[in-house]
Structure 1
Amino acid sequence: MSADLAFYPGIHQPGNACTFQRAFISINRLRGRLKPITCPDVVIDSGAFTELERFGRYRHGVEEYARELRRLHAAGVVRITAAVAQDFMCESFMLARTGLTVAEHQSLTIERYDALMVERLPFPILPVLQGFAPQDYVAHLEAYGDRLEPGHWVGVGSVCKRNGRPEQVVAVLSAIKRRRPDLRLHGFGVKLTSLMHPGVREMLHSADSMAWSYSARKQGRNGNDPLEAKRFVERVMAAAGRAFEPWQIPLLSIGAAA
């Protein structure tokens, strides 16, 4: 993780995002919201994992997704740094859920990215590279073609279930970087095990994680407590050899209203 890595703690309760400089929030937690979120750097996730795992499809089309993103931005509800395109993960259990192949998931991911770009939203759209084997990601990279400009910020999907074996994450990131060393890669759902691996850290420009919430719930604590997120961010920064920065200290008490 380079010294300037942007780490986005995943936040279940949108109201807690105001306690952090950065936050990663699913669109599923924001639909219809009217109350502003005073966080200066928010990336909106498409809710891809939940949608495909639970329903085997997206319940909301690209136009509806774009419409809600535009409303959130125009109404001043969220200051959106970027929104993630509606991608299709490629783990075996996701393929079984949709009944499609890796190649079909990759094609659908680009198709939805193109459709979202047509909407001309007033903030960046984060495209996602998908696959399972390292060569899959290279093939998907080639399929994107000139859509990915030099220095493009690009998400890398289908790695969150491989955090227990960070060498597999390194293999995926290395394959992408060998072909396009200029890309700024974002790791979705990267847990501390992988973030502590120097090979992973050095190749990521940014990352997000909800691992703090899962760990808290598993140990009988509050999975929505922003102090749990704060402690996780502290550990991430320590892994990067950085001091914990004042802006990362939660300002609200435990159980802040969403």
Structure 2
Amino acid sequence: MKPEDFLMGTHQTGWLEHAGVPLFVSDTRLRERKRLPRAAARWANDSGGFTELQKYGRWTVTAREYASRVRRYRDEIGNLAWAAPQDWMCEPIVIKGGRVGRQVFAGTKLSVLEHLRRTRDNAVELSMIAPDLPWAWAVQGYEPDDYLRCADMIEEAGIDLTSQPLVLVGSMCRRQGTAEAHRIILALRARGLRRLHILGAKILGLRRYGHLVTSSDSLAWSADAFYAAQKHPDNRLILCGGSHPKGGKNCANCLTYALQWRERVLATLNTTAMTSNLGVAA
């Protein structure tokens, strides 16, 4: 994975104008803006599926509404590399509902198979509504066979995933450092899907198999800064070595820290990739 293919997730939409690195920005943030920023670098659009399914257990945004906004982002922000479809994550907590830490999940109460069908059907609908937009296809699942079944379902709809410039892999963020996640990636590659993007990547996972994927995105820098500050009095911990405007107590919204974090991650991944390519690490 090349440095330019590691997308830094952010909820600060204004960073598109001046961060100068590839970003991953959610529709849930951009839709709130009347005036959109102009992108200084390549970026990709997150559909906001995690938030939708977590809060509501369903999509409250129609494909036509979403496509209309993505067209606006492409035209007004510029530099849009690709946009994620409105896919359906397949983790048990998303389907059954419940609580993880401070997050409460409504639960879709559907089967994994139905999530796969809806993931495929939405991507097909988006490509028909707006064939001019740079949609990326996504495969979802929980067990390795689920991902292969999702790929089969998409190809049965007439889409050759092996020829796509990028295929997104979802429902991986809670287990990306595991052997199972590694097996999922290997299974997809063996099926001919070589240009993979891991949604919501964890750095532990990328250290293990980053050399096997084309790109990834991560918002982990913000959570790292926030939780590090929780261990200090008054939740105050400045990690970037500078000072924050408006009295910010930590670096959870700090571009300087985010860029520093990104450089450290890329340095680590480059070292891991070198050893992997030499056959030292799998």
Which of the pair has more CA radius of gyration?
2
CA displacement at 1:39 relative to structure 2: 2.7
Mean Cα deviation higher: 188-197 or 118-127: 118-127
Q: Deviations over 1:145-177 (max 9, x none)?
A: 1413434110000000113x3322111101111
Q: Once the 2 structures are TM-superposed, how far is the Cα of residue 233 of structure 1 from its aligned partner?
A: 1.1
In the aligned structure 1, how far is the partner of 2:262 from the partner of 2:57? Answer: 32
| Residues 129 and 157, structure 1, Cα contact 8 Å, conserved in 2 | yes
Q: Which amino acid aligns with 2:225?
A: A
Q: Can you give the 5+ residue segments of structure 1 that lack an aligned partner in the other structure? A: 243-258
CA distance in 1, matches of 2:152, 2:184: 15
Task: Mark the runs of 5 or more structure 2 residues left unpaired by the alignment.
Answer: 97-106, 230-249, 272-282
Q: Is the 8 A contact 1:3 1:240 kept in 2?
A: no
User: 2:129 & 2:149 partners in 1: Cα distance?
Assistant: 26
**What SS does structure 2 have at the residue aligned with 1:161?**
coil
Verify the 8 A CA contact 1:113 1:127 in the aligned structure 2.
yes
Query: How far does residue 142 in structure 1 lie from its aligned partner after superposition?
Result: 1.0
Determine what percentage of the aligned residue pairs are the same residue: 31
- Relative distance call for 1:73 and 1:5 in structure 2 (3 A) is closer
Work out whether 1:22 is the aligned partner of 2:32: no
Distance across 1 between alignment mates of 2:178 and 2:38: 34
Contact 2:4 2:22 in 1 (8 A): no
Matching residue of 1:170: 182
Amino acid corresponding to residue 147 of structure 1 in structure 2: I
After TM superposition, the structure 1 stretch with the greater mean CA deviation from structure 2, 154-163 or 118-127, is 118-127
Which residue in the other structure is 1:236 paired with?
A: 265
Q: 1:107 to 1:169 in 2, by over 3 A?
A: same
Partner of 1:11: 10
Q: Given the two structures, how large is their TM-score scaled by the length of structure 2? A: 0.79
- Map 1:1-258 onto structure 2 (within 5 A): 2-3=1-2, 6-17=5-16, 18-33=18-33, 34-74=35-75, 76-96=76-96, 97-145=107-155, 146-152=158-164, 153-163=166-176, 165-181=177-193, 183-197=194-208, 200-220=209-229, 221-241=250-270
SS at match of 2:153: helix
Letter in 2 for 1:196: R
- Asked if the contact 1:86–1:109 (Cα under 8 Å) also holds between the matched residues in 2, the reply is yes
CA gap 1:222/1:94 in 2 versus in 1, 3 angstroms: same
- Post-superposition offset of 1:24: 0.2
Residue 40 (structure 1) shift: 2.4
Secondary structure of the equivalent of 1:44? strand
Q: Which moved more, 1:19-28 or 1:98-107?
A: 19-28
The CA deviation at 1:3 is 4.2
* CA deviation after TM superposition for structure 1 residue 241, in Å: 2.1
Shift, 1:38, TM fit: 2.5
Question: Is residue 89–residue 171 contact of structure 2 (8 Å, CA) maintained in 1?
Answer: yes
How many pairs are equivalent? Answer: 236
* RMSD over aligned Cα atoms: 1.7
Match for 2:172: what amino acid?
Answer: V
